[in-house]
Chains A and B, each alone.
Chain A
Amino acid sequence: GENVEQHPSTLSVQEGDSAVIKCTYSDSASNYFPWYKQELGKRPQLIIDIRSNVGEKKDQRIAVTLNKTAKHFSLHITETQPEDSAVYFCAASPSLIQGAQKLVFGQGTRLTINP
């Protein structure tokens, strides 16, 4: 089955700097790669996703890149702000199961933005 590795487990950056979180996956059949953000005591929420037919996607200060050959994908946050502090999870999904997602998550990265 799919296995997703995420690094680093913790990341601390100065406000205004960039943050990069990296994930690798094992199943070459995976074709959907979302990123979720979980603030302290809150539910995980989707912030950006990418499908295997594109290499990069941007949404304001966040971007995701995908390298299918190397089986890795990364989250980039530019001009970080205090409200970016949270735990970020990457995930991979090989396919739908009868109309439902089978997402496999990485271990999470706790991002802290220092003022």
Chain B
Amino acid sequence: ETGVTQTPRHLVMGMTNKKSLKCEQHLGHNAMYWYKQSAKKPLELMFVYSLEERVENNSVPSRFSPECPNSSHLFLHLHTLQPEDSALYLCASSQEITNTGELFFGEGSRLTVL
């Protein structure tokens, strides 16, 4: 595997379920991100991790809980979600030490909350 991989690609869950999204980057990058992409809305930054430390939490409800156990893995734990949380959740990574600025995105996890 190369690049940024996300699992699962599709997830359907009820409002009372607990599930997790997983992201893995094989690029040796030092920063990882969660973005939310909803229809007709801009990409919304949710969380930023740099060197496994959370450096940004963009006013995200507590029903979304991120975890970064090491520089290659990022999780988004989900519980008691609402239907309006249905969206494409994109993970990304970057290597800011070289200051290229480029975000490398995964293909996303399409979440549907019933």
Genuine A/B complex: yes
Report, nearest first, the 8 A-B pairs whose CB atoms are least far apart.
Answer: A100-B31, A100-B50, A105-B43, A43-B105, A99-B96, A105-B42, A99-B50, A98-B55
CB atoms of B90 and A44 under 8 A apart: yes
Query: Which residue numbers of A lie inside 8 Å of B, CB to CB?
Result: 4, 6, 32, 34, 36, 42-46, 49, 89, 91, 93, 96-108
The answer to whether B48 and A100 have CB atoms under 8 Å apart is: yes
Total contacts A-B at CB 8 Å:
75
Contacts of A106 in B (CB 8 A): 42
Chain B, residues 25-61, CB within 8 Å of chain A (1/0): the string is 0000011010000001111110011110101100000
CB distance from B34 to the nearest CB of A (A): 12
Within 8 A of A (CB), among B49-104: 49-51, 53, 55-56, 90, 94, 96-97, 99, 101-103
Distance in Å: Cβ of A91 to nearest Cβ of chain B: 8
Contact of B30 among A91, A99, A103, A107 (CB under 8 A): A99
User: Which of these, A36, A45, A102, contacts B45 with CB under 8 Å?
Assistant: A102
Residues of A within 8 A of B45 (CB): 102-104
Residues of B with C-beta under 8 A to A32 = 101
Q: Distance (Å) between the CB of A104 and the closest chain B CB?
A: 7
Tell me the nearest residue of chain A to B56, going by C-beta: A97
A99 contacts which chain B residues (CB < 8 A)?
30-31, 50-51, 96-97
Partner of B42, one of A46, A101, A107: A107
